[in-house]
Amino acid sequence: MRSRNLVLAMAAALAAASCATVEHMKASMSGAKPAVAYGKPISLAEIASWDIDIRTPDGKGLPPGSGTVAQGKQVYEAKCAACHGADAKGGPQYGTMVGGINSFTTNQRVLTPGSMYPYAPILFDYIRRAMPMDRPQSLTSDEVYAVSAYILYLNGLIPENFVMNAQTMPTIQMPNRNGFILDDRPDVKNERCMRDCKPIRG
């Protein structure tokens, strides 16, 4: 009896979910907003607190703060070396983050921030979002600037006395700045179509 009741309960839940999905699809296709019975409208201020995007070519969105190569070495040794190895030359989890400059023009590419990234602010964005692996977004802005400075120093791209901040970081000339090809395929410029769309292929 118990299993029969369980089956009936599951069937009822599936039917309810199907009805909700159908209603949602109908509303979506008609252009009307589906009714929402939970949550609350979110304000622009609330969205801003989650927005950590950085426009990498010119560094727009980089936060206040700064860091030096020496400070970055300390942060790196405390929070990064266990995975990336001493002097960022590779560790038990990841390969080297040093060297390979200009290797993108050869058949033996070396993937390091110095060799690969076209703009230095990409390094800040990546470290802030993803590092350390077990505690992403736990580093302060000063720590991220400092670690970025240390890694780019090890790659020979900035001097030892460089102070990394929102103003100086976008000025770093990355070796692979012009190494990427813009995506000029026609379909990446299509306008979004949600109704009565032309077929992709005739």
Tell me the pLDDT tens digit for each residue of 140-179.
999 999 999 999 999 999 999 999 999 999 999 999 998 8
Q: Name the more confident of 122 and 20.
A: 122
Q: How many CB atoms lie within 10 A of CB 126?
A: 16
Which one-letter DSSP state was computed for residue 138?
A: -
3-state helix, strand and coil shares in percent for the chain, rounded to the nearest 5:
45, 5, 50
Q: Name the more confident of 67 and 18.
A: 67
User: Roughly what angle, to the nearest 10 degrees, separates helices 69-79 and 141-154?
Assistant: 100
Report phi then psi at 98, rounded to 5.
-125, 140
Tell me the pLDDT tens digit for each residue of 26-84.
766 676 766 767 788 888 888 887 889 999 999 999 999 999 999 999 999 999 999 99
> Buried b / exposed e across 153-183, counting CB within 10 Å, b at 16+?
bbbebbeeebbbbbebbbebebbbeeeeeee
> Buried b / exposed e across 88-120, counting CB within 10 Å, b at 16+?
beebeeeebbbebbebeeeeeebebbbbbbebb
CA distance 197 to 202: 12
Which one-letter DSSP state was computed for residue 101?
A: T
Across 89-103, 111-125, 137-151, 188-202, least confident range: 188-202
**pLDDT at residue 14 tops 70:** no
Section 180-194 average pLDDT? 78
The residues that bridge with 55 in the sheet, in sequence order, are 60
